[in-house]
Every structure is written in structure tokens, then in C-alpha cells.
Copies of this chain bind each other. A is one copy, B any other.
Amino acid sequence: MEFGNNITVSQRLGLVPASPIRKLVPYANEAKKQGVKVYHLNIGDPDVETPEVMMNVLRNWHDNPIRYGQSQGEPVFLKALKTYYHGLGYSFIDVPDIQVTSGGSEAISLALFATCEPGDEVLVFEPLYTNYNTYAVVNGVKLVPVRTRAEDGFHLPKQKEIEKKITKKTKAILYCSPNNPTGTVFTPSEVEGLVALAKKHNLFLLADEVYREYVYDGKKQTSLLTYMHKIPKQAILLDSMSKRYSLCGVRLGALISLNEKIMAGVLRIAQGRLSAGFVDQAIAAKLTEVPQSYLESVNKEYEKRRDVLHEGLKKIPGVVIPKPEGAFYAIVGLPVDDAEDFCRWLLTDFRDNNETVMLAPAAGFYATPGLGKNEVRIAYVLNVQKLTRCIELIAKALKIYK
């Protein structure tokens, strides 16, 4: 008998889904090897410039050695975050309410671990940010999806519809506004409704507000922070620096809560991973010096792109695109049976003037198997000229696909 043949990996490893944003990357790389230009609308990795004041941290670097940061977060970055939230009008946020995380991803994972036992349920609204699925598996949590629909602009269904999904195992509601992947911005009454539900059923309420600044048509985002004192032990804010300052490769986010047990617990986990990146925190700490005009101009730029994408795509026969209200994503219905096959084909077969476009099949943004099969998620993270070319590519591709 040869040993080691029947060694098996854990079952739970097999349950981790491949990212719909990233799983077609090998096909994109193959296309690039052939000299094809691939436009990336599959991933929310903006081409907008990182603020100069942050770039200068690198150029003027002198700390040597590059040491561990503090587990809760570097004091200079924690202070900057506090200043940022105070600037938004939430002056009750103090440093002990903030845990710096390695990207928004770690904040999501910590929040699920801290609020749920294995097997517990968390209500989510689908289509959802795909990596919630990953962190549900990693933390042994069951996501219970409440569906939102294109015809409602992906806004929330009635309170009663949501309430139907609450069971004895439900521990939390997790939502994202402005929404990735739909671009929907929940209204004040929608957020208030979720707060009321959390209060009534004694649930944690986890708000992913990574795209806070990206709301268009002169509107403003409604933050969970506005209602934090109504459910001080239950509200948890998940945040990230990635999109706000075009810092995706700087892996920094934050978990904010007034619940001291949550904060003490996540700090113990954070001690286990020692610290977030020291250089990254030094860069991000400059956020207080980023002029308001930067965020305003970035907002305007994305609004323009949103308009271009929306106007362009809705003209293509069979394409359904509700007008995104915020963030920089849209869930787009396509006149195809299998959007994943279409996305793969774009990378393997379709070329127009030796160019193609990469989209993310939307099925992976649902927790319910079978949904979203004819949809894609589009991240409008390229400039107007490139985006216009992408729309043209999509239109041409749909004409000749199958």
C-alpha cells in the first residue's frame, strides 16, 4: 500500500466558491499572451489616481526597519480615521471604537466570526458582494438571501418579505449601500427599516459602506452611523480605504462598533495576525490631507462614467440595466442564456481590432443557485473613452455570439 493516497483536504475547503470576478483571469492572461488588449470591467480596480499626498509618503520614506504596526492599528492611522468620521458628522466615534483591518475583507470576516456561531444564519440581499459567500464558508455561517430585483432598481422588498426569512438561527443582517454589485443606494427609510428589524428581532446589523462617497444625481448616502445610538450594541460598520482613495492595493479597512465585547474580541484576533501593513497605514493616514475637491472630482468622474455606461448599454437590444445610483457597478441583464459562457467566449474567441472586454458573470453574486445566469456585473472603473469602446465591444460581441 502506498501511503498518502487517501489524504483528503477538508470538505469545507471544497465549499469555498471561486470568485466570479477572478476565476476567468487565466483566459484573460491567455488572450494577453496572444497580444490581445483586454479591457477590465470585471473588477472594481479603478484607474483613478491615488492622491499625491499619499504617494509622497512612499517617495519620502525613511523608517528602517519596517516594523510591525500595533494590532488595533497604527495610532496615526486610527487618529486619521477618527478625524474622517468626525468630519462626516459622527463625532461620537472614538479610537477604541475602531479596529483597523487588512482590507474591507478582513472586516467582513471578523464581523461574521464575532456575531455568529457555526451554523448560524445571516440575512443578505442578493445580488450580493460575492466575497460574502467566501467569508460565510470560512466562518461556517449560512447566508440566507433575500432577493432584490432589477425591476425595483434592486431596492429592498417590503419589511414583511425580509422578516419571513428570519429564523431562530438568524444572528445578523448584512447589507451594502451604495451597493456592490447593483449600484443601488438604500434610502433613509430603507436603512431605518433595517435598523427597526435589527431592534425588533435582536439582531446584529452589519453595514458595508465601502462606497459611501459614490452617490450620484446630487444625492447623499444614508450611513448606519446615523442610527448607531438606536442599536449601539448591534450596529457594526464595515469600511475600506480601497475605493475612496484609489488604494485597492493598500490593504486597509476598518470595523467600527460601540459594542465593547465585539471590539475586545476582534482585537484579540487582530493580535493573532500581529498588524496590518505598516507602510500601507502610513500612506492611508494621509487621508486627512486629501482635499475635499479630490473626492468631489472622483465622484463627478464616476457619475459621468455611469451615464455613459447606462446610456450606451440600454440602447443595445435585449440588454437590461437599471440606472445605478451609486458605487461603480451595475448588474446588467444580457440576451444570452449563460452569461459565464459569454464572458469566457469574450476572452477566448471574440476579438475586434484585436481587442476584447472582460466582464464578471453575475451568478456568483447570488447566494441562490440558478439566479443571475443571464446577468453580468460591470465595474465602470475605466475612463469615458475606454468605457465607450467597451460598450461598442459588448454590442458587437452580442451580435455575433451564438
Contacts and interface: CB of A to CB of B under 8 A. Distances in A.
Copies, count = 2
Contact of A249 (B114, B118, B265, B277): B277
B64 A273 contact: no
A71 interface: yes
Contacts of A12: 113, 117-118
Nearest to A61: B58
Contacts of A250: 66, 277-279
Interface string A44-74: 0111111000010011010011111111000
A368 interface: no
Contacts of A58: 58-59, 61, 279
Interface stretch (A19-27, A286-294, A369-377): A19-27
A10 B49 CA distance: 40
Given A9-B259, A118-B118, A274-B103, A202 B3 contact: yes
Interface residues of A, number: 89
A354 interface: no
Contact of A61 (B55, B67, B261): B55
18 contacts: A9-B261, A9-B262, A10-B120, A10-B171, A12-B113, A13-B266, A18-B268, A19-B271, A66-B250, A66-B283, A68-B249, A131-B271, A134-B268, A248-B274, A249-B275, A249-B277, A251-B274, A251-B277
